[in-house]
Amino acid sequence: MASSAATGKGSVQAESVRGGAAPKEPPPAGTIAGARRLLLAESEAIARMSEGLDGCFERAVGLIVACADAGGTVLVTGLGKSGLVGQKISATLSSLGIASHAVHPSEAAHGDLGRFRKTDTVICISFSGETDEVVTLASILKQDGLPIISITGRTRLQGLSKPSTLENQATVALGLNLETEAGEPDFAAPTSSTTATMALGDALAVAAAKARNFTDEDFKRRHPGGTLGDLLRPVVEVLRFVAGKNLPRITDDLTVAAALEEAARGGRRPGAILLSDAKTGRLSGIFTDGDLRRLILRDAGELRRPICEVMTRDPRCLPDSALVRDAVRLVREFRADEIPVVNARHEPIGLLDVQDLITMRLVQD
């Protein structure tokens, strides 16, 4: 028996080594409640920072705008977690048309100071405001006359007894209005401070982009691929069914049966027929496959009725100047499966099928 038990134990150990399923441990009690407390504390930190925004924020935005307009670069620096957050802020600035790079404060003293030019502006991040590497870099750049925006946990204007060393070096000092991290005293890891810093960086980047009249078209040029690029494409670029080509022009004075015959001449057809006013050519209605099924189930004889009597009048449509994201919004808000696209005279020029957006992975089936 002892031998058998030992063999069984060895088998279990071998299965574990081979990657067999190990017994699942239940999550510690209070896990969800603790997570909610932490997330709530972080959201409250952002709200408190938002309420405390003042003229210093506007001055910081002004420095970023002036730098970008002069052809300079916004350089962002910080150490540790602050440096990682700084990389994200820099990437956001770049995506919004403001040249930006993240610089490691220690490496700057070993050759990277050559990146800094008179037209540049620097964002220095340090929660304590006393990080040696960041303070040293700020001191050197201040002597060179570069504008410095500091981001620290608190500033003198936010109740700090005396300004931090980094604040003293700054042209404009921004504070998170934050004293403690979410999770304290159990943990002292950066939580609220990194979240709030990232949010403040987003606010600076978006405000500066708006001040420079950055447009959707500008954004599209910097994001030609992926979901962002697809959402910013003109809707006319993704139309598979185009009026006069594979989408017959059908007037609303025909019977349902006659309209279906006309639609069949276009070969493969979408899940709806677009109807135009016989006199003006303007879009007057839409008749979907669902409408057809309901009509036949009610009375097949109704196929002889004028289609204008059974179509959906004045359907929601998009102008030919719309973007794909506008079509996605219609699908999500109104569950539209077929979206007519019209020109300036409200004449139908095409039909966007929801399957096209599903294929592009912009909406889910």
One digit per residue, the tens of pLDDT, for the chain of length 365 reads 444 444 444 444 444 444 555 556 766 767 888 899 999 999 999 999 999 999 999 999 999 999 999 999 999 999 999 999 999 999 999 888 899 999 999 887 665 666 688 899 999 999 999 999 999 999 999 988 999 999 999 998 888 889 999 999 999 999 999 888 888 777 778 899 999 999 999 999 999 999 998 876 666 555 555 666 677 788 998 899 999 889 999 999 999 999 999 998 877 778 899 999 999 999 999 999 999 999 999 898 889 999 999 999 999 999 999 988 899 888 888 888 899 999 999 999 999 988 888 887 777 76
Place of tokens 């005293």: 185
Following DSSP, what letter does each residue of 150-171 receive, concatenated?
EEES--GGGT-SS--HHHHH-S
State whether 174 and 83 are in the same domain: yes
Does 280 map to a domain?
yes
Does 263 map to a domain?
yes
Does 31 map to a domain?
no
List Cβ neighbours of 63 (8 Å cut-off, separation of 6 or more). Answer: 121, 147, 149, 171, 172
CA 143-98-325 angle, to 5 degrees, is 160
Following DSSP, what letter does each residue of 257-282 receive, concatenated?
HHHHHHHHTTSS--SEEEEE-TTT--
State whether 117 and 209 are in the same domain: yes
Across the beta sheet with 148-152, the strand order is 100-103, 74-78, 121-125, 148-152, 172-175
In whole angstroms, what is the distance from residue 364 CA to residue 222 CA? 26
List Cβ neighbours of 213 (8 Å cut-off, separation of 6 or more). Answer: none
CATH number for 269: 3.10.580.10
pLDDT computed for residue 358 by the predictor: 83
Does 292 map to a domain?
yes
State whether 72 and 198 are in the same domain: yes
Burial of 334: CB neighbours in 10 Å, binned 0-12, 13-18, 19+: exposed
Give how far the C-alpha of residue 306 lies from the chain's centroid of Cα atoms, to the nearest Å.
Answer: 46
Domain interval for residue 338: 235-359
Does 27 map to a domain?
no
State whether 84 and 190 are in the same domain: yes
pLDDT computed for residue 221 by the predictor: 58
CATH number for 165: 3.40.50.10490
Domain end: 148, 181, 214, which one?
A: 214
pTM over 0.75? The answer is no
State whether 55 and 163 are in the same domain: yes
Give how far the C-alpha of residue 304 lies from the chain's centroid of Cα atoms, to the nearest Å.
Answer: 50
In whole angstroms, what is the distance from residue 60 CA to residue 45 CA? 21
Domain end: 184, 214, 244, which one?
A: 214
Query: What is the bridge-based pairing of β-strands 348-353 and 241-242?
Result: antiparallel
Paired tokens of 143: 């002597």
Domain count, the chain: 2
Strand runs labelled E in the chain: 74-78, 100-103, 121-125, 148-152, 172-175, 241-242, 250-251, 272-276, 283-288, 312-313, 318-319, 338-342, 348-353
Does 244 map to a domain?
yes
State whether 111 and 245 are in the same domain: no
State whether 183 and 241 are in the same domain: no
State whether 287 and 188 are in the same domain: no
pLDDT computed for residue 109 by the predictor: 66
State whether 177 and 298 are in the same domain: no
State whether 207 and 259 are in the same domain: no
pLDDT computed for residue 361 by the predictor: 78
Does 242 map to a domain?
yes
State whether 178 and 262 are in the same domain: no
State whether 205 and 272 are in the same domain: no
Maximal C-alpha separation, the chain: 96
Does 26 map to a domain?
no
